[in-house]
Amino acid sequence: MRLLIFILIILTKPLLAQDNGGDEFKFASYLIDNESYEEASFVLKKILAESEDTRALDSAHFMLGQIYFSQKLLEEAVVHYDKVSNGSIPLSTQSLFYSTLSSSYLGKYSTAALKLKNYNSTDTSLYNLKNLSLAAVSLLDRNFKSYDSLSLLLDKENYLIGVQAEDLNFHKKKLIAVSKKSGLKAGVLSALIPGAGRMYVEKPGQGIYQLIIATILGLQTWESYRKDGVESARFIIYGSLFTSFYIGNIWGSTIGVKLYKNEIKETVDNAILLDMHIPLRTLFR
């Protein structure tokens, strides 16, 4: 396929030279639309290697950035987005916000914030988008003080960011709530009532299951003791099972808080990144 593309480009070279690569970009766009990303990258990299036109180079870098972003090759995406010159508006603006989003996905929050802070625009939509993105990055970085300041600038009635601005407030509350969960408290609750520690971390199904099993084993242990005594094999077996399950229930609840926190934080972070992405797709479609 790549050989065929190369041949087509060579055959159309005279035409391409007359329009600064316009046909090559059309061809690359056609390949992207058909998800032939490797072939499209080949065409765009050829433009980068041969063209001296700034606008053509910026377009090629932007399109490569979009290809790599769609493939989740975010390091490569950032490299190309950042090479789009400031003179190529609106490509430079789109590249800035997508580079910021890519850096945020990579966990490079300080880098993402710096890119946004250095950007200024009198356009209302871009101003709102900048503030939303900065607020989202602050939440991802767990900088609640910065988020609180930025959230005051968010227009919750704005068509572009209104829904996402409300979402960010919800995400902040969720992050604060989960940070207060205590492994010690979960262990104490499970010691008092088996399964209560699981319910404490919003796992009611697991909590009820543990309560039922502990109750069954406890009743069997008591029945064995009452009928057969402490030296009976039945009492020893059920007593050992109940003790092991009871201790495991306490220990599991304690460890479960850390797992729960990681799970919730990952879920919330993905939601924040989505709230950053949706306005970009709306504004730059």
- pLDDT surpassing 90 at residue 230: no
Q: Specify the pLDDT at position 8.
A: 43
Q: Specify the pLDDT at position 54.
A: 92
Contact 140, 109 (CB under 8 A): yes
Q: Specify the pLDDT at position 1.
A: 52
Burial class (CB in 10 A: 0-12, 13-18, 19+), 146: middle
pTM for the model? 0.82
CA 11 to chain centre: 44
Tell me the average pLDDT across 123-142. 95
Tell me the average pLDDT across 1-16. 43
Contact 264, 202 (CB under 8 A): no
What is the rounded distance in angstroms from the CA atom of residue 103 to the CA atom of residue 76?
Answer: 11
Contact 46, 7 (CB under 8 A): no
What is the rounded distance in angstroms from the CA atom of residue 32 to the CA atom of residue 279?
Answer: 22
Mean predicted lDDT score pLDDT of the chain: 89
Instruction: Tell me the pLDDT band of 285, cut-offs 50, 70 and 90.
Output: confident
Instruction: Look up tokens 């495991």; give the residue.
Output: 248
pLDDT tens digit sequence for 133-156: 999 999 999 999 999 999 999 988
Question: Which residues have CB under 8 Å from 186's CB, separation 6+?
Answer: 197, 200, 201, 253, 254, 256, 257
Tell me the average pLDDT across 238-246. 91
Contact 213, 230 (CB under 8 A): no
- pLDDT surpassing 80 at residue 11: no
pLDDT tens digit sequence for 48-57: 999 899 999 9
Which residue, among 59, 50, 74, 69, has the nearest Cα to 29 in the 3D structure?
59
Q: Sign of the C-alpha dihedral, residues 253, 258, 261, 263?
A: negative
Which residue, among 270, 274, 266, has the nearest Cα to 164 in the 3D structure?
274
Percent of the chain with pLDDT over 70: 93
Q: Quote the longest CA-to-CA distance of the chain.
A: 99
Structure tokens at 99: 């580079």
Q: Specify the pLDDT at position 6.
A: 43
Instruction: Tell me the pLDDT band of 24, cut-offs 50, 70 and 90.
Output: confident
Structure tokens at 39: 């072939």
Total count of residues recorded for the chain: 285
- pLDDT surpassing 90 at residue 172: yes
Between CA 143 and CA 89, with CA 115 as vertex, the angle to 5 degrees is 140
